[in-house]
Amino acid sequence: MREGVQTEEYKDYRLTAAPMKMPNGRWAVSVKISRQDSSPVLEKSYFADDKIYYILKEEAGKEAINLGRNIINRMMSGI
């Protein structure tokens, strides 16, 4: 894993923050959610298209992990 990359194990998933630098120099929220119950690893990326950008990459990374948790919770609740 790359140094400084925010990751978290949440329920049966691995969340990896993947902030994206925008043309305005700020950071947008993006997260990769992966699960390995079979081969190959199942992975999907999500981008928060909410027009909220962060000055610090670390801030966007924290929000990316929160986004991943919320997505997993919604999937598990059947929404």
Q: Is residue 68 part of a domain?
A: yes
Q: Is residue 36 part of a domain?
A: yes
Q: Is residue 60 part of a domain?
A: yes
List the structure tokens of 53: 């950008």
Q: Is residue 47 part of a domain?
A: yes
For the stretch 34-48, pLDDT in tens is 987 766 778 999 999
Residue 60: predicted pLDDT:
97
Q: What pTM was computed for the model?
A: 0.85
Report how many domains make up the chain. Answer: 1
State which amino acid sits at residue 34: S
Q: Is residue 2 part of a domain?
A: no
Q: Is residue 63 part of a domain?
A: yes
Give the CATH number, domain containing residue 28.
Answer: 3.30.160
Cβ within 8 Å of residue 47, ≥6 positions away: 20, 28, 29, 30
Question: Which residue range is the domain that position 56 belongs to?
Answer: 7-77
Q: What is the average pLDDT value for the chain, to the nearest integer?
A: 89
